[in-house]
Structure 1
Amino acid sequence: MEFRQFRYILTTAKEGTISKAAQKLYISQPSLSQLIAGVEKKIGAPLFDRSVTPLRPTAIGSLYLETARRILDLDEEFQQRTDDMLKRSAGSITVGSSPFRSTYLLSRFLPGFQRDYPQIQVRLRESTTRQLEGLAQDGSVDIVLSLAPIDLKQFTAEELFQEELLLALPPDHPLAVHYGLPDRLSPSLPVLPLAALRDTPFISLHPEQKIHNHMMTLCAKAGFAPQIKLETRSLEAAQSLAGAGLGATLLPDTIVAGFRPAQPPCYAALDIHPHRRVLIAWRRSRYLSQAARAFIRSLRAFCSLPAPNGILPEAQAPQ
């Protein structure tokens, strides 16, 4: 068995069709079909049920995929352990992050980290939080920036910081007008009960994003189901849409402090002051290289620095 075969067949299982996998791998579809057929002939049994779409692994196929992942993990662990034992100056790490965290956290952290560790190459893999956890489980990323709750049977996680969820309202909303809500983050935001928004349309984040479930849970506890008028995958878009008068939304204070749309909404704190815990996590069974440990250690230290104006600090030049 060859590592190339493992990677190609794992990609086929992930993509669900041979044509999509071939595209992803930059090879022709006939070449990939021939490779899979050759592996199946050698094993003596099919790896996939081709009568359904997406392709479904057979029992032997599932065993093959599990074994392939373990072998590739062991190979990567060997390389990382060898580098650490030989104390090589170079290293690399793949970090899973949402575009939001890349913009408002990593863009401030990475310049200082690269100055301190110029020999470590950092690769970014961006997706939604839930998808990133899946990438961490299958070994596609070394560590992931995530949110609580997380499956602690599968992951080791450390808290980086907490952020409060704030209410963003259209500027002409009766509550915004009545309470004179500010259009920017301030130390003493007016406080509103979420139940007061029972009849207000909401802008929701996509269900794959954890903030969607957080909003739905908070509304349910307040005694109502929100009227979802629009759905977006972007926190900046949700903020801008609220400012344009299209509905209310919940936003982490990190983005309220770090991004100001052309037409900002008005902001209020919720009476229960909901927070979410931002985590750095990695698969329990995964070996952490010295490069990964340096990244985790540095990011934790960075996030513990004082946060001027409610946002994470800028990267600091070395003293």
Structure 2
Amino acid sequence: MELRQLLYAVTIAEEKSFSRAADKLHLAQPSLSQQIAKLEKEINIILFERSTSSIRLTDAGERFYESASKILDSIEQLKKEMQDMAELEKGGLTVGSLPITGAHILPLVLPVFKKKYPGIQVRLIEEATRALEQLTARGKTEMSLLSLPLADPNLEWEPILEEEICLAVPPDHPLSQREDAEIRELKDEAFIMLKKGQGFRTLASGWCEDAGFVPRVVFESSNIETVQSLVAAGMGIAFVPKMVTRLSTEPLLPRYVALRNPTPCRTLVMAYRRGRYRSRASRVFLDTVQEVLVAMEQASHRF
């Protein structure tokens, strides 16, 4: 069994296609098929069930894929550890991010990081919460920007920001004339929320349920800016992270009301696979994120 054969099998499993895997590996498809057949013969196990339209892993193939993925990731981590020991000035870093949160944080962080560490190339992967957790747990990102709670037990994390949540209301809404409100007052309101599957949607629904009601959702969107525009147009109310209220570039904005008794918050974290070696690049990236967010919070308190 050769290391390259592990890579071939893992790539086929992830691409779910011999042809796409061959393209990604820069191999001729017959050569790839020959290597997999050789591997299956050597271990006396069929890894893939093939049909004219698709392929899928056998039960044994699933086990092989999990173990081979860990082996390949361990080798990649060893490479990074050796690079760090050699104090290389150039390298790469794969960072995962929630699209909405990342859109407000990363444009502040990346220029600072690039200026401080011009030799480190950052590759971004944007996915919804659950998909991003899975990618991070599999080692496909070195670290990912997520919000608590995390569902995957294979992840550990470091907090980077505790963020207050406020209420966005239409300009002519009765609550727009108030400085604050309590969530329990909102039980009869029409809510605009992010789509299910996004972490912030889960948090928002939970805040309402803790206040004793299930929110009546009239519109859903995958974009927080769209949510704000719909609120401003009078279509409903919405929970909005305080960061978004400060950094939004939308021309049509709602009014913002503080929430009290209690004040809902979300905790943003940098998550990574439990027990995984953390490269020097990932550590200095985390330092930069924390540095930028602290500066942002201090600036907001001055105004």
In the superposition, the TM-score normalised over structure 2's length comes to 0.86
Q: What residue identity is the alignment partner of 2:161?
A: F
Q: What residue identity is the alignment partner of 2:235?
A: L
Structure 1 runs of 4+ aligned residues shifted over 4 Å read 1-5, 19-24, 26-38, 53-56
SS at 1:223's partner residue?
A: coil
Q: How does 1:151-230 map to 2 (within 5 A)?
A: 153-176=153-176, 180-181=177-178, 190-230=179-219
CA, structure 1 residues 306+213, in 2 after alignment: closer, same or farther (shift >3 Å)? closer
Return the offset for 1:253: 0.5
Identity level (%): 35
SS at 1:204's partner residue?
A: strand
Partner residue of 2:67?
Answer: 67
Moved more, 3-12 or 58-67: 3-12
Once residues 54 and 254 of structure 2 are traced to their aligned partners in structure 1, the CA distance between those partners, rounded to angstroms, is: 43
Q: What residue identity is the alignment partner of 2:107?
A: S
SS at 2:62's partner residue?
A: helix
Are 1:22 and 1:29, in contact at CA under 8 Å, matched by a contact in 2?
A: no
SS at 1:106's partner residue?
A: helix
Are 1:170 and 1:266, in contact at CA under 8 Å, matched by a contact in 2?
A: yes
Partner residue of 1:252?
Answer: 241
Return the offset for 1:260: 4.2
Q: Is the counterpart of residue 25 in structure 1 residue 24 in structure 2? A: yes
Return the offset for 1:158: 1.1
In the superposition, the TM-score normalised over structure 1's length comes to 0.82
Q: What residue identity is the alignment partner of 2:293?
A: C
Q: What residue identity is the alignment partner of 1:234?
A: N
CA, structure 1 residues 193+127, in 2 after alignment: closer, same or farther (shift >3 Å)? same
Return the offset for 1:215: 1.1
Q: Deviations over 1:14-53 (max 9, x none)?
A: 45x42795598387996566665554344322224558x9
Once residues 82 and 147 of structure 1 are traced to their aligned partners in structure 2, the CA distance between those partners, rounded to angstroms, is: 31
Return the offset for 1:83: 1.0
CA, structure 1 residues 195+67, in 2 after alignment: closer, same or farther (shift >3 Å)? same
Gaps of 5+ in 1: 182-189, 312-319
Once residues 183 and 292 of structure 2 are traced to their aligned partners in structure 1, the CA distance between those partners, rounded to angstroms, is: 33
Partner residue of 2:105?
Answer: 105
Gaps of 5+ in 2: none
Return the offset for 1:200: 2.0
Q: What residue identity is the alignment partner of 2:300?
A: G
SS at 2:162's partner residue?
A: strand
Q: What residue identity is the alignment partner of 2:184?
A: A
Return the offset for 1:288: 1.1
Are 1:162 and 1:276, in contact at CA under 8 Å, matched by a contact in 2?
A: yes
SS at 1:146's partner residue?
A: strand
Partner residue of 1:186?
Answer: none
Partner residue of 1:76?
Answer: 76
SS at 1:304's partner residue?
A: helix
Are 1:257 and 1:309, in contact at CA under 8 Å, matched by a contact in 2?
A: no
Partner residue of 1:300?
Answer: 290
Partner residue of 2:267?
Answer: 277
Return the offset for 1:305: 2.5
Q: What residue identity is the alignment partner of 1:218?
A: W
